[in-house]
Structure 1
Amino acid sequence: MRAIIPVVLGVLLGGCLPKARVEQFTARPFVACPGDPITLSWRTNGNVTLSAEPTAPGLGKRDSSGRETVPLPEGSGPTVFNIHVSRFLGLKKTETSGEVVTPPLAKEYAVVDAEGEADFSCLEQERAVEAFFVLDAEKMAPGVLVGQVMNMNIRRLVLDKDGVKKTLGEGETTTFEGMRAQGRWSLRVPLEEGETCEAAIDDVDGRLIIKLQLACGR
């Protein structure tokens, strides 16, 4: 009887003690190539073990909160980074994960819910309205390149990336081959004859979409 008392007490205490909790866990950037640095950041209330599928070297037990950079393992599919948190001799456990995807892949990007003219510029001399989005270091590793770009809109679109401009009709594709995906993308919609900037903005607000075919440079 005496031998089972610690086990019984442990079970009883386990029901009353705070749960293991992952307050924050991220793996950034979302899109990267094998060998690119991936920053893991976490905040928990327990003992941490980090792992990855496929396996990334150097992961394992860590402090309850932290931040570190690891290379993305080789492979063509997504890499899933896992965090396992335990408390009170393993009586309380939880885990979660974050995914990083590797090109080749196609992803859609858009100016969504622009809410009027705040995110658009009216270019009166050029007879166009313009919006933009930024693929920053959190979204995209610098080594990720662009192959083709598709215009997913029913209107003609002028794309501008790093000073390279391409004009695409509805559903058309063009190449930005060898150009980095990371950075500022400008989306310019020419006005129709007699159309005002306000009317054009109402027509495209929240619906400017392009599809990028992404690749790795090595």
Structure 2
Amino acid sequence: MSLCWANREKLRTHDRLLVLTTLLLTPFIAGCAQIKLFSVAPSTVCPGETVQIDWKASDRVMLNAVPSVEGVGEGPPEGSRSFMPTENTRFILNVPGLLKSAQREWDVTVIPSQSSRLLGGVAQCGGNPPFASASFSIQQKDSSSRVRAVSVGNNYHRHLVVSKDDIEVEIPPDGSTDGFKNASVIGTWTIRTPLGTNEACENVLDAIRNRLTIKTQMSCGE
């Protein structure tokens, strides 16, 4: 009997500790704001196009923009709004909390008559014959379907082979090409560079700092 009584007392003590811990932690959890979702799509647009902002937070939110756009301000814990930025804009979502506030930021790029951007990814090396390569994808949620390539530049002192869909172009060192002119930037791009005679993979990856990028001039088509 004494053993059973002792076990019951241990369980009661354990339960009391759980209740006490919950009571102590609840104010801290409730006092810390949370942002469960914050997205802006697309993040690259042409003049006259809209972006949609979706959010989900632990409490009412304050949505701001720099520079300011019409329609920002206080909002419910969960919602969405659409905006038509006329220039590059940073959207800021803030959720106040008793102990700690939460904040997220998202940049939207508005393409002018022509814009330039470095695009690329982490490089890998291998194959026979060996080459270093990198691939990256631009999805519809990332860019307006109107954004088109004007030219693609090679910033390296070595040859690049760039391909997208059924287009493949070799770009000389420090050169550029208009072979992708009017092609949509949305899709998967691949960048490759062949290894030189007696050049090892480690050497080429060090030379390109483990990344391959292209300088892409782009504009908004119809």
TM-based fold match above 0.5 = yes
Does structure 1 conserve the Cα–Cα contact (< 8 Å) formed by 2:195 and 2:204? Answer: no
Q: 2:82 aligns with which of 70, 81, 84?
A: 70
Q: 1:110 aligns with which of 120, 131, 135?
A: 120
Structural mapping, 1:66-215, within 5 Å: 66=79, 68=80, 70-73=82-85, 75=86, 77-86=87-96, 95-103=103-111, 104-112=114-122, 114=124, 116-117=125-126, 122=127, 124=129, 130-175=133-178, 176-192=180-196, 194-195=197-198, 199-200=200-201, 202-204=203-205, 206-215=210-219
Note the C-alpha offset of 1:101. 0.8
Structure 2: distance between partners of 1:209 and 1:23: 32
Structure 1: distance between partners of 2:104 and 2:161: 41
Query: Structure 1: which 5+ residue stretches go unaligned?
Result: 1-14
Does structure 1 conserve the Cα–Cα contact (< 8 Å) formed by 2:120 and 2:214? Answer: yes
Does structure 2 conserve the Cα–Cα contact (< 8 Å) formed by 1:20 and 1:94? Answer: yes
Identity rate, percent: 24
> Aligned in 2, Cα 1:129/1:83: closer, same or farther, shift over 3 Å?
closer
Note the C-alpha offset of 1:83. 2.2
Note the C-alpha offset of 1:98. 1.6
Note the C-alpha offset of 1:87. 5.8
Decide which structure has greater helix share.
2
Structure 1: distance between partners of 2:53 and 2:172: 41
> Can you list the C-alpha shifts for 1:88-115, whole angstroms capped at 9, x where unaligned?
8xx986654321011232111223254x
**Corresponding residue for residue 23 of structure 2:** none
When the two structures are aligned, how many residues end up with a matched partner?
189
**Corresponding residue for residue 22 of structure 1:** 35
Structure with the greater alpha carbon radius of gyration: 2
Note the C-alpha offset of 1:54. 4.5
Structure 2: distance between partners of 1:171 and 1:27: 35
Q: Compute the RMSD of aligned alpha carbons.
A: 3.4
Which amino acid is 2:168 matched to? Answer: K
Note the C-alpha offset of 1:182. 1.2
> Can you list the C-alpha shifts for 1:123-170, whole angstroms capped at 9, x where unaligned?
54xx75544221223433322111111112221111112212222111
Scaled by the length of structure 2, the TM-score of the pair is 0.67
Does structure 2 conserve the Cα–Cα contact (< 8 Å) formed by 1:50 and 1:62? Answer: yes
> Aligned in 2, Cα 1:130/1:216: closer, same or farther, shift over 3 Å?
same
> Aligned in 2, Cα 1:188/1:33: closer, same or farther, shift over 3 Å?
same
Note the C-alpha offset of 1:191. 4.4
> Can you list the C-alpha shifts for 1:30-77, whole angstroms capped at 9, x where unaligned?
3222344534232321112434444255x55433134x462533x2x3
**Corresponding residue for residue 4 of structure 1:** none
Query: Structure 2: which 5+ residue stretches go unaligned?
Result: 1-27
